[in-house]
Amino acid sequence: MILPDEDYQVLPSEKHTDIPKWTRDLLDELRPEEVEALRRVARLGPEGTAQLLAAIELARSVGTVAKFVKWLVIGCLGIFFASMLFAEKIITLLSWISKGKGQ
């Protein structure tokens, strides 16, 4: 017979030999806060779980769009500054040409 104190020292994988080994290994690696999070998700029910998964997918999508917008802004700024520098050099070139004609 296992005493309550001894039961606390037994790993989850040793308690539940009827589940697959990879599941038992996962249970051995869980921290207490991860176990509590899994319990909360399990209490949500099917509709709550579907909503949670939809929220996670939405968060991923927002992150993807944010990366795209960031690079879009960086690209637009690069094009803007490059065109400003190009215009400045064209103006300088035209001023040299116009000075040469006047002489």
Q: Does residue 40 belong to any structural domain of this protein?
A: yes
Report the domain count for the chain.
1
Residue 12 has pLDDT above 70, yes or no: no
Look at 45-54, 56-65, 73-82 and tell me which has the smallest mean pLDDT: 45-54
**Measured distance CA(29)–CA(42) in Å, rounded:** 19
């960086």: which residue's tokens? Answer: 74
What is the percent of the chain where pLDDT is above 90?
54
| Predicted local confidence at residue 10, as pLDDT | 64
Q: CB–CB of 28/13 below 8 Å?
A: yes
pLDDT bucket at 20, cuts 50 / 70 / 90: confident
**Measured distance CA(34)–CA(38) in Å, rounded:** 6
Q: Does residue 56 belong to any structural domain of this protein?
A: yes
| Predicted local confidence at residue 23, as pLDDT | 85
